[in-house]
């Protein structure tokens, strides 16, 4: 199942006494990102030539350190310093950094490492140093197939992030989304998948039919989404590795708004019939379908709590779209959104404590979060149109999509992915090859 | 420990948000119509309308968030019902749509509700449900790419399309 992830294994090189060293506080908008130096991974000439041949990369050591640098920078918590200021050569730095040199350029942390080609494998070791107290904080080595080199960069980033913030990272992850092209009135939409940093983009469908709202299962091997195949909007299941697709359930009408349960065993979705939409689950093993809500209103956008005991959903039973939660068997329905405006797309945080949502108020769209009892509403970003937040696996970042207003002639439409920290800081455009919408963030691929 | 920090910061930002959102009203107010093609915020023009037959418009329009048929819509649907009774071999698909100012999933449901509202009316005028199927496009297929109240009003629609 996770076969290609298992190729990658970790060896801890040196146990290090844990001192209270550098620590980065990620609970506030970080206006002073930690200055750190990512020294290019050193590489011997023989390995360099081998990788040049296999991967068509001139210096794989620098390439991997660039990935680490970009990831750390994008997080908004770190400020990777310009390599031009580095005084020490990569190979020497990895053996024993001259801390006063790194101190001089104001680096508080230093990442060094070494790449070698061993038995047709890529071996990377890296070390994280605290410059101020002149200590090694972490040392790890990885061995994997050479084609996994980008993932090595992401895993190093995750390890550094975790060591310095105390929380799991989110760099060795992927985003599934809908790639959009063409005029607004006849949009062509395809499922696409890419690494969290935009690399390795791949289209999963051809664009012959409209596809919407893809979402990963917990292991990030399967995707559930809506397809208009044969002009029948239905929830589908796609195995990313094999490309196998199947329709979910046998409903006499439109099924939509699918998501997996946290154990991956069920799909929860809406089924629309006769002008009302209710929430259903289907067990993927025994194919049993269960009706969860039964109300003449529109009930949609269901999202499980991480422990699987509750479901947040969107309903207009009060007259307007609002957010509700209920037990997973459909009992104990409670409205939780009571602020001004209308609320949609509730998504439960992987930490369990917050629900992210889209809000429309006075003609503006907001992405926000509230606690699961509806208290503590915080709006993170305001725009002409934006919706569909999806959580990073560590619950620190949200990715969503934003659409532009067209001009008087109906021109100038675009849809793009954006990310923002839970703090409301560090809003960033996520670059994609085409226009993009409906992003869904995978779990951490290596754990 | 970290959690309590999050909460503390959360409250600070919350306070700022409360200031921002204070004194707001719940219902979105429709902009005054300057085109003469809307009543309230329901489209009354003929720009985008096609005809199934002479005097039989193919579509009806809805107010924001609504699926209630207006007087004009009911008139259109009665004309469609009469035409369908005369052409008993023709089946139709009712395609329900929403404007771009709503979340994707809710709009899929809203499109379905609008198309069903039209279907119910055709059925009361004697058209068998076997001849009518319903398909929602949500906000995926606007006829007008504009970002104006008039464009949105054209997009909030149920279109009757010949299925055979």
CATH code for the part of the protein at B37-162: 3.30.1330.60
Residues in chain B closer than 8 A to A77 (CB atoms): none
Q: Is the pLDDT of residue A144 over 60?
A: yes
Contact B111, B97 (CB under 8 A): yes
pLDDT at residue A29, as a whole number? 62
User: How would DSSP label each residue in A43-56?
Assistant: E-HHHHHHHHHHH-
CB contact under 8 A, B102 and A344: yes
**Burial tier of B155 (Cβ tally within 10 Å: 0-12, 13-18, 19+):** buried
- Residue in B48, B105, B161 to test binding to A, most A beta-carbons within 10 Å: B105
Cβ separation B145–A184 shorter than 8 A: yes
Q: Are the C-beta atoms of residues A180 and A436 closer than 8 Å to each other?
A: yes
Place of tokens 């509806």: A374
Partners of A38 in the β-ladder = A111
Domain assignment of residue A446, yes or no: no
Domain edge (last residue) among A108, A142, A165 = A165
The mean per-residue pLDDT over the stretch A331-337 comes to 98
Mean pLDDT computed over A108-130: 95
ipTM: 0.93
Strand residues in A228-341 grouped as ranges (E)? 234-239, 245-247, 254-260, 266-273, 276-283, 289-291, 299-304, 310-315, 322-327, 334-335
- Please report residues of B whose CB lies closer than 8 A to that of A438: 104
- The radius of gyration of chain B from alpha carbons, rounded to an integer in Å, stands at 20
Burial of B161 (0-12, 13-18, 19+ CB in 10 A): middle
- Where is average pLDDT lowest: A52-61, A85-94, A237-246, A327-336? A85-94
8 Å CB contact of B13 and A424: yes
Quick one: pLDDT at residue A204? 96
A208's CB contacts (< 8 A; 6+ apart) are none
| CB < 8 Å to A357, chain B | none
A363 belongs to a structural domain: yes
| Count, residues in chain A | 447
Tokens of A402: 């934003």
Residues A79 and A210 in one domain: no
* Distance in angstroms between the alpha carbons of the first and the last residue of chain A: 14
Asked if residue B132 has pLDDT above 50, the reply is yes
Under the banding of pLDDT at 50, 70 and 90, the label for residue A91 is confident
Domain boundaries, chain B: 37-162
- Domain range for residue A143? 3-27+34-165
Write out chain A residues lying below 8 Å of B117, CB-based.
275
Q: Are residues A52 and A189 in the same domain?
A: no
Contacts of A233 in chain B (CB under 8 A): 108, 135-136
CATH of the domain at A193: 2.120.10.30
State whether A142 and A205 are in the same domain. Answer: no
Residue-wise pLDDT tens digits, A377-410: 999 999 999 999 999 999 999 999 999 999 988 8
pLDDT in tens, A230-254: 999 999 999 999 999 999 998 999 9
Residues A262 and A381 placed together within one structural domain of the fold: yes
- My answer on whether A280 and A417 are in the same domain is yes
| Minimum CA–CA partner of B102 in chain A | A360
Structure tokens at A216: 């990963």
C-alpha separations of A120 from A4, A8, A168, B20 in Å: 16, 14, 31, 59
Average pLDDT over residues A432-443: 98
Which is nearest to A236 in space by CA: A222, A252, A221? A222
Overall domain count for chain A: 2
Nearest-CA distance B98 → chain A (Å) = 13
Among candidate residues A165, A183, A205, the one where a domain is terminated:
A165
* The most confident of A26-35, A123-132, B25-34, by mean pLDDT: A123-132
On whether both A185 and A216 belong to a single domain, the answer is yes
- pTM given for the model: 0.90
Is residue A298 domain-shared with residue A373, that is, in the same domain?
yes
Confidence at A92, pLDDT banded by 50, 70, 90? confident
- Which positions ≥6 away from A404 have C-beta within 8 Å? A384, A385, A412, A413, A414, A415
pLDDT in the model for residue A26: 61
Within this chain, do residues A72 and A151 fall inside the same structural domain, yes or no? yes
CB contact under 8 A, A272 and B109: yes
Which pLDDT value is given to residue A22?
64
- Clarify whether residues A213 and A118 are in a common domain: no
Which of A145, A165, A185 is the C-terminal boundary of a domain?
A: A165
Assign residue A21 the CATH number of its domain.
Answer: 3.40.50.10070
User: Looking at beta carbons, which residues of chain B come within 8 Å of A184?
Assistant: 142, 145
Pairing type for strands A42-43 and A109-118 reads parallel
CB contact under 8 A, A231 and B135: yes
Least confident of A263-272, A317-326, B22-31, B41-50: B22-31
A246-280 pLDDT, tens digit per residue, is 999 989 999 999 999 999 999 999 999 999 999 99
- A399's CB contacts (< 8 A; 6+ apart) are A175, A389, A390, A392, A417, A418, A419, A430, A439, A441
Whether A249 and A336 map to the same domain: the answer is: yes
Q: What is the pLDDT of residues B59-112, one digit of tens each?
A: 999 999 999 999 999 999 999 999 999 999 999 999 999 999 999 999 999 999
pLDDT of residue B137: 98
Do residues A179 and A123 both lie within one domain? Answer: no
Q: By C-alpha distance, which of B138, B126, B33, B118 is closest to B72?
A: B118
Residues A254 and A392 in one domain: yes
So what's the pLDDT on residue B142? 97
Distance CA A93, CA A136 (A): 12
Q: What is the pLDDT of residue A30?
A: 61
* Interface residue A56 vs chain B (CB under 8 A): no
For residue B97, report the phi and psi dihedrals to the nearest 5 degrees.
Answer: -135, 160
Scored b (16 or more CB within 10 A) or e, A123-151 reads bbbbbbbbbeeeebbbbbbbbbebebbbb
- The alpha carbon of residue A273 is apart from the nearest alpha carbon of chain B, in Å, by 8
């Amino acid at each position: 199942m996770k076969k290609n992830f298992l190729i990658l294994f970790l060896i801890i090189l040196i146990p290090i006494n844990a001192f209270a060293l550098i620590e980065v506080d990620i609970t506030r908008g970080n206006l002073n990102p930690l200055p750190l130096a990512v020294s290019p991974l050193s590489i011997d000439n023989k390995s360099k030539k081998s990788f040049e041949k296999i991967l068509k990369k001139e210096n794989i050591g620098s390439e991997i350190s660039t990935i680490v640098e970009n990831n750390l920078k994008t997080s908004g918590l770190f400020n990777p310093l310009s390599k031009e200021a580095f005084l020490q050569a990569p190979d020497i730095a990895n053996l024993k950094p001259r801390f006063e040199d790194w101190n001089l350029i104001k680096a508080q942390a230093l990442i060094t490492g070494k790449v070698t080609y061993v038995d047709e494998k890529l071996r990377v070791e890296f070390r994280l140093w605290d410059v101020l107290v002149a200590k090694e904080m972490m040392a790890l080595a990885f061995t994997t197939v050479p084609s996994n080199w980008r993932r090595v960069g992401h895993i190093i980033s995750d390890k550094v992030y975790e060591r310095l913030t105390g929380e799991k990272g989110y760099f060795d992850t992927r985003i599934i989304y809908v790639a959009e092209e063409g005029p607004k009135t006849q949009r062509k939409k395809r499922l696409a998948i890419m690494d969290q940093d935009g690399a390795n983009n791949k289209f999963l469908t051809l664009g012959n039919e409209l596809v919407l709202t893809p979402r990963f299962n917990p292991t990030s091997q399967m995707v559930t989404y809506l397809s208009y195949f044969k002009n029948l909007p239905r929830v589908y299941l796609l195995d990313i590795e094999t490309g196998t697709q199947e329709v979910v359930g046998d409903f006499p009408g439109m099924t939509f708004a699918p998501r997996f349960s946290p154990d991956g065993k069920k799909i929860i979705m809406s089924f629309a019939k006769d002008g009302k939409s209710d929430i259903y689950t289907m067990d993927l093993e025994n194919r049993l379908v269960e009706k969860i809500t039964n109300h003449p209103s529109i009930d949609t956008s269901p999202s499980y709590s991480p422990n699987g005991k509750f479901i947040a959903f969107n309903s207009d039973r009060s007259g307007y779209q609002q957010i509700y939660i209920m037990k997973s068997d459909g009992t104990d329905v409670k409205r939780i959104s009571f602020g001004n405006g209308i609320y949609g797309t509730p998504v439960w945080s992987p930490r369990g404590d917050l629900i992210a949502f889209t809000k429309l108020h006075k003609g503006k769209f907001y992405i926000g979060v509230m606690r699961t009892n509806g208290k503590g509403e915080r709006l993170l970003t305001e725009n002409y149109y934006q919706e569909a937040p999806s959580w990073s696996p560590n619950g620190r970042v949200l990715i969503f999509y934003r659409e532009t207003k067209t001009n008087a002639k109906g021109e100038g439409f675009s849809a793009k992915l954006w990310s923002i920290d839970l703090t409301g800081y560090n809003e960033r455009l996520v670059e994609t090859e085409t226009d993009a919408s409906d992003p869904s963030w995978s779990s951490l691929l290596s754990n | 420990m970290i959690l309590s920090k999050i909460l503390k910061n959360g409250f600070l930002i919350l306070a700022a948000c409360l200031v921002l959102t204070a004194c707001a009203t719940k219902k979105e107010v429709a902009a005054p119509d300057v085109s003469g093609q809307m009543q309230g915020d329901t489209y009354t023009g003929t720009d985008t309308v096609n005809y199934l037959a002479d005097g039989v418009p193919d579509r009806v329009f809805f107010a924001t968030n609504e699926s209630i048929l207006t007087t004009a819509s009911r008139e259109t649907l009665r004309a469609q019902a009469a035409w369908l009774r005369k052409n008993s071999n023709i089946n139709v698909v009712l395609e329900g749509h929403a404007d771009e100012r709503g979340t994707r999933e809710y709009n899929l449901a809203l499109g379905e509700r609008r198309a069903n509202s039209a279907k119910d009316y055709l059925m009361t005028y004697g058209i068998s449900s076997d001849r009518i199927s319903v398909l929602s496009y949500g906000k995926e297929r606007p006829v007008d790419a504009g970002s104006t109240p008039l464009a949105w009003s054209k997009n909030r629609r149920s279109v009757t399309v010949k299925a055979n």
